[in-house]
Amino acid sequence: MDFIKLIDSYKYDIIKSTQEIVTIKSVEDEPKEGMPFGEGPYKALEYALNLAKQMGFKTKNLDGYVGYAEFGEGEETLGILVHLDVVPEGDGWIYPPYGAEIHDGKIYGRGSIDDKGPAIACMYAMKALKESKVPLSKKIRIIFGTNEETDWGCMKYYFEHEKSPDIGFTPDANFPVIHGEKGIIKFDLVKDINTNCTNNITIKNIKGGSAVNMVPDYCEVTLETKDTKQVEDAFDKFVENCQYQMTLERKGFTFIIKAKGVSAHGSTPEKGKNAITYIMQFLGTIIDCECDICKFINMYNEKIAFKHHGEGIGCGFEDEVSGKLNFNPGVIRMEDDKIVLSINVRYPITFTAQQVYDGIRENLKGTGIELIEDDGEVKPLYIPKDHFLVQKLMKVYREETGDKESEPLVISCGTYANAMENAVAFGPVLPNQEELFHQPNEFISIKHLLFLTRIYGKAMYELSK
């Protein structure tokens, strides 16, 4: 196909554009005028729309929330839903997280695979279709979201102001095709701290995690005690036995204990090392008290620590279609005489959010811990394997990869496919390829970036011809 040859000729432009957009730190921040999710996401949106204009596409910026680029004619529209915001970079990077440096044929940086690299690949794929003048019966529209990693306010705004595409896909998960996604909820477990420790250790502060949908790679606790030897001895013994990456700093009678974990996507908590859990486990070895905060620590260690599927807290659900529930404690903080633990849950397709909430509340009866729901639920998605969209994309995948064995998947991640009817996730991660979403040293290889441009070009063509 002529447009495939064009894609190959774009190689250096694709690399350059990916590097440029990765250097934009598009983490959600305080809103500004015309920038509802902060300056970083807006700058990424501005970059994408300017690049699209240079490619000759019609573009529209919807008040800084979201934008799109499109070309083609026809009554129907194929939508490609991408996002340009990123999660915080976290620690543990070998190369600068916003440097977009190339090492060993890989572009390193936050957002390189999730989802800026795939977004750029889709733009150049659409450019190749436009310049090759292949006949198409649908318009193709790339929709640029800027708030995917938190509340999807961008997509809510889009669908309030624009007509939905007729069919679509998002390059923000795995190959071959994602035909099902678990439901997603986030909520807080909150306990008032009305009583003080009766032993000789006072917990002054606990804080950890940067986003509820990430396994927290950092947590710290501040303690005060006159029995400094007790804390020092307990810390040395704990670190020796568990070999977690932890440090202790002492200033007089005050200790700051820090834990370093390994970040991972909140949909796969078992792939990370949760720094909150490390701190709570250590505290469990030194507390001996029935105060409010100590009760919360004991609850955490009994019902949450190292239990990635909700099995200890009343929501260990599982079904044949989508497997086990995923349970990620992502952020902890003390504020206003309360301790607050923020949780991200991915629940199986045949269950409901209410069943999760009911199970947890029943399990926590009598603890004084309140569950506060967030209103940003993403309901489960399921499209049958024999659906036209799934079948078309499976055909493209098999032709491009030669993989005849892989079947459509159900995943724990939530994608923009859930924002509209008749949409699925399609890539960018191949079977057996390392998944780097939300992890340090995220990268996309140049070889894979060019492969994505080709496969997305073919997918657009097959769905629009």
- Each residue's pLDDT tens digit, 363-421: 999 999 999 998 888 899 999 999 999 999 999 999 999 999 999 999 988 899 999 99
Task: Considering only residues 290 and 164, tell me which one the structure prediction assigns the higher pLDDT.
Answer: 164
- CA–CA gap between residue 108 and residue 110 (Å, rounded): 7
pLDDT band at 106 (very low <50, low <70, confident <90, very high): very high
Percent of the chain residues topping a pLDDT of 90: 86
Range 140-159 average pLDDT: 95
> N- to C-terminal Cα distance for the chain?
13
What is the pLDDT at residue 40? 98
Q: Are the C-beta atoms of residues 220 and 257 closer than 8 Å to each other?
A: yes
pLDDT band at 64 (very low <50, low <70, confident <90, very high): very high
What is the C-alpha R_g of the chain? 24
**Range scoring the smallest mean pLDDT among 144-153, 374-383, 441-450:** 374-383
What is the pLDDT at residue 100? 98
Q: Measuring CA to CA, which residue among 308, 314, 307, 298 is closest to residue 367?
A: 298
Q: Measuring CA to CA, which residue among 429, 405, 401, 403 is closest to residue 415?
A: 429
Q: Domains of the chain by range and CATH? A: 2-181+381-464 (3.40.630.10), 184-373 (3.30.70.360)
pLDDT band at 243 (very low <50, low <70, confident <90, very high): confident
What is the pLDDT at residue 291? 87
What is the pLDDT at residue 287? 87
What single-letter DSSP state applies at residue 55? T
366 SS3 class: coil
User: What are the φ and ψ backbone dihedral angles of 199, each rounded to 5 degrees?
Assistant: -90, -165
What is the pLDDT at residue 241? 87
The mean pLDDT value of the chain amounts to 95
**Range scoring the smallest mean pLDDT among 327-331, 340-344, 407-411:** 407-411
Active-site residue list: 85, 148
- CA–CA gap between residue 69 and residue 78 (Å, rounded): 12
Q: 302 pLDDT exceeds 90?
A: yes
What is the pLDDT at residue 172? 96
What is the pLDDT at residue 1? 60
